Chain A
Amino acid sequence: MKRRDFIHMAGLSAGAMMLPFSGFGHEVDLAGLLTPIMDVEQKKQLADIALNTAKSLGATYTDVRIGRYLNQFVTTRERRVQGVTNTESFGIGIRVIANGTWGFAATNLVTADEIKKVTARAVAIAKANSKFQKEPVKLAPNPSYGEVSWKTPIVKNAFEVPVKDKVDLLLAANAKALEKGASFVNSQMFLINEQKYFASSEGSYIDQDVYRFQPGFTVSMVDRQSGSFKTRSAFSAPVGMGYEYLDGKAEDKIQGPGGIILYNKSYDIIEDATMAAEQAKEMIAAKSVEPGKYDLVLEPSHMWLTIHESVGHPTELDRVLGYEANYAGTSFLTFDKWQSKKFKFGSDIVNFVADKTQVGSLGNVGYDDEGVKCKKWDLIKDGILVNYQATRDQVSILGQNESHGCSYSQGWGDVQFQRMPNVSLQPGKQQLTPEQMISGVDKGIYIVKDGSFSIDQQRYNFQFGGILFFEIKGGKIAGMLKDVAYQANTQEFWNSCVAICDERDYRLNGAFSDGKGQPSQSNSVSHGSATTRFNGVNVINTGRTI
Chain B
Amino acid sequence: MAILSKEEAKRILEKVVGFSKADGIEAGLGGNDSGNIRYARNSVSTAGEDSNISLGVSVNFGKKSGSATINEFDEASLEKVVRRAEELAKLAPENPEFMGPLDPQTYGPETKTFVEATSKITPEYRAQAAADSIGPATKKNITAAGYLEDNRGFNAQMNSKGLFTYSQATGVNFTVTMRTNDNDGTGSGWVARNFNDVSKLNTAEASQIAIEKALQSRNAKAIEPGKYTVILEPNAAADLLGLMLNFNARQADEGRSFLSKKGGGTKLGEKLVDERVNIYTDPWNEEVPTANQAGGLPRKRMDLIKNGVVSNLFYDRYWAQQKGVEPTPFPGNRIMEGGSASIEDMIKDTKKGVLVTRFWYIRAVDPQTLLYTGLTRDGTFYIENGKIKHPIKNFRFNESPIIMLNNLETLGKQMRVASGGGPGGGGSALVPAMKIRDFTFTSLSDAV
Q: Which A positions have Cβ atoms within 8 angstroms of B?
A: 13-17, 19, 22-30, 80-88, 101-108, 121-122, 124-126, 128-129, 131-135, 163-164, 167, 183-184, 220, 222, 224-229, 231, 321-327, 329-330, 332, 413-415, 417, 452-461, 463, 465, 483, 485, 487, 489, 518-519, 538, 540, 542-546
Known: A15-B26, A543-B366. A26 touches B361 (CB 8 A): no
Q: Which residue of A lies closest to B72 (CB)?
A: A26
Known: A27-B81, A452-B373. A519 touches B149 (CB 8 A): yes
- CA–CA, A528 and B66, complex, Å: 39
Residues in B whose Cβ lies below 8 Å from that of A184? 254, 256
Our pick among A106, A124, A226 for the contact of B50 (Cβ within 8 Å) is A106
B375 within 8 A of A: yes
Residues in B whose Cβ lies below 8 Å from that of A417? 46
Q: Which residue of B lies closest to A545 (CB)?
A: B369
Our pick among B36, B145, B260 for the contact of A326 (Cβ within 8 Å) is B145
Contact B48 A461 (CB under 8 A): no
Contact B363 A452 (CB under 8 A): yes
Contact A23 B36 (CB under 8 A): no
Contact A220 B256 (CB under 8 A): yes
Known: A27-B81, A518-B38. A325 touches B143 (CB 8 A): yes
Contact A15 B69 (CB under 8 A): no
Contact B145 A322 (CB under 8 A): yes
Q: Which residue of A lies closest to B91 (CB)?
A: A163
CB distance from A138 to the nearest CB of B (A): 13
- CA–CA, A224 and B253, complex, Å: 11
- CA–CA, A465 and B363, complex, Å: 10
Q: Annotate B219-255 by CB proximity to A: 1 below 8 A, 0 otherwise.
A: 0000000000000000000000000000000000011
- CA–CA, A481 and B361, complex, Å: 26
Contact A546 B145 (CB under 8 A): no
- CA–CA, A326 and B91, complex, Å: 47
Contact A546 B403 (CB under 8 A): yes
- CA–CA, A489 and B446, complex, Å: 9
Count residues on chain B whose CB falls below 8 Å from chain A CBs. 103
Contact B256 A222 (CB under 8 A): yes
CB distance from A514 to the nearest CB of B (A): 13
Residues in B whose Cβ lies below 8 Å from that of A458? 445-448
Q: Which residue of A lies closest to B131 (CB)?
A: A132
Q: Which residue of A lies closest to B44 (CB)?
A: A129
CB distance from A258 to the nearest CB of B (A): 22
- CA–CA, A454 and B190, complex, Å: 20
Q: Which segment, of B92-100, B306-314, B346-354, B383-391, faces chain A? A: B92-100
Contact B147 A30 (CB under 8 A): no
Further contacts, 8 of them, CB under 8 A, given A487-B443, A544-B369: A16-B295, A30-B87, A132-B134, A224-B262, A461-B394, A485-B365, A487-B442, A546-B369
CB distance from A452 to the nearest CB of B (A): 5
Our pick among A16, A224, A455 for the contact of B263 (Cβ within 8 Å) is A224
Contact B69 A454 (CB under 8 A): no
Q: Which residue of A lies closest to B93 (CB)?
A: A81
Our pick among A14, A88, A454, A483 for the contact of B361 (Cβ within 8 Å) is A454
Contact B49 A105 (CB under 8 A): yes
Q: Which B positions have Cβ atoms within 8 angstroms of A?
A: 26-28, 36-38, 40-54, 56-58, 66-72, 77, 80-81, 84, 87-88, 91-93, 95-97, 123-124, 126-127, 130-131, 134, 143, 145-147, 149, 157, 159, 175-177, 179, 190, 254-256, 258, 260-264, 294-296, 360-371, 373-375, 377, 394, 396, 398, 400, 402-403, 442-448
15 pairs from A and B in contact (CB 8 Å cutoff): A14-B57, A15-B26, A81-B92, A106-B51, A132-B131, A227-B262, A231-B256, A325-B145, A326-B38, A454-B373, A454-B375, A460-B447, A461-B375, A485-B365, A518-B147
Contact A460 B446 (CB under 8 A): yes
Contact A30 B88 (CB under 8 A): yes
CB distance from B281 to the nearest CB of A (A): 17
- CA–CA, A183 and B261, complex, Å: 16
- CA–CA, A88 and B67, complex, Å: 12
Contact B37 A129 (CB under 8 A): yes
CB distance from B4 to the nearest CB of A (A): 15
The 7 A-B pairs of least Cβ separation, nearest first, read A227-B262, A461-B445, A325-B145, A14-B56, A14-B58, A456-B447, A458-B447
CB distance from A171 to the nearest CB of B (A): 9
Our pick among B53, B147, B402 for the contact of A546 (Cβ within 8 Å) is B402
Contact B254 A222 (CB under 8 A): yes
Contact B95 A332 (CB under 8 A): no
Residues in B whose Cβ lies below 8 Å from that of A126? 47
CB distance from A492 to the nearest CB of B (A): 11
Our pick among B28, B255, B398 for the contact of A229 (Cβ within 8 Å) is B255
Most buried by B among A101, A322, A417: A322
Most buried by A among B93, B130, B403: B93
Residues in A whose Cβ lies below 8 Å from that of B67? 13-14, 17, 85
Contact B68 A28 (CB under 8 A): yes
- CA–CA, A392 and B121, complex, Å: 31
Contact B47 A104 (CB under 8 A): yes
CB distance from B236 to the nearest CB of A (A): 15
- CA–CA, A45 and B144, complex, Å: 41
Residues in A whose Cβ lies below 8 Å from that of B396? 454, 456, 461, 463, 487
CB distance from B321 to the nearest CB of A (A): 15
- CA–CA, A330 and B184, complex, Å: 14
- CA–CA, A83 and B445, complex, Å: 43
Known: A30-B88, A326-B175. A519 touches B36 (CB 8 A): yes
Contact A546 B400 (CB under 8 A): yes
Residues in B whose Cβ lies below 8 Å from that of A87? 69
- CA–CA, A231 and B264, complex, Å: 18
Q: Which residue of A lies closest to B295 (CB)?
A: A16
Contact B363 A183 (CB under 8 A): no
Our pick among A167, A454, A538 for the contact of B362 (Cβ within 8 Å) is A454
Residues in B whose Cβ lies below 8 Å from that of A519? 36, 149
Residues in A whose Cβ lies below 8 Å from that of B447? 329, 332, 456-461
Contact A27 B84 (CB under 8 A): yes
CB distance from B161 to the nearest CB of A (A): 12
CB distance from B296 to the nearest CB of A (A): 6
Q: Which residue of A lies closest to B55 (CB)?
A: A14
Q: Which residue of B lies closest to A491 (CB)?
A: B446
Residues in A whose Cβ lies below 8 Å from that of B370? 546
Known: A15-B296, A121-B49, A457-B377. A465 touches B44 (CB 8 A): no
Contact B43 A133 (CB under 8 A): yes
Contact B366 A544 (CB under 8 A): yes
Residues in A whose Cβ lies below 8 Å from that of B149? 518-519
Q: Which residue of A lies closest to B210 (CB)?
A: A326
- CA–CA, A227 and B255, complex, Å: 7
- CA–CA, A326 and B137, complex, Å: 14
- CA–CA, A413 and B442, complex, Å: 42
Known: A417-B46, A519-B149, A544-B400. A14 touches B28 (CB 8 A): yes
Most buried by B among A25, A133, A321: A25
Residues in A whose Cβ lies below 8 Å from that of B263? 224-225, 227
- CA–CA, A546 and B401, complex, Å: 10
Residues in A whose Cβ lies below 8 Å from that of B93? 80-81, 164, 167
Residues in B whose Cβ lies below 8 Å from that of A134? 41-43
CB distance from B192 to the nearest CB of A (A): 10
CB distance from A163 to the nearest CB of B (A): 7
Known: A14-B56, A125-B48, A485-B373. A84 touches B365 (CB 8 A): no
Contact A461 B443 (CB under 8 A): yes
Known: A227-B262, A461-B446. A25 touches B361 (CB 8 A): no
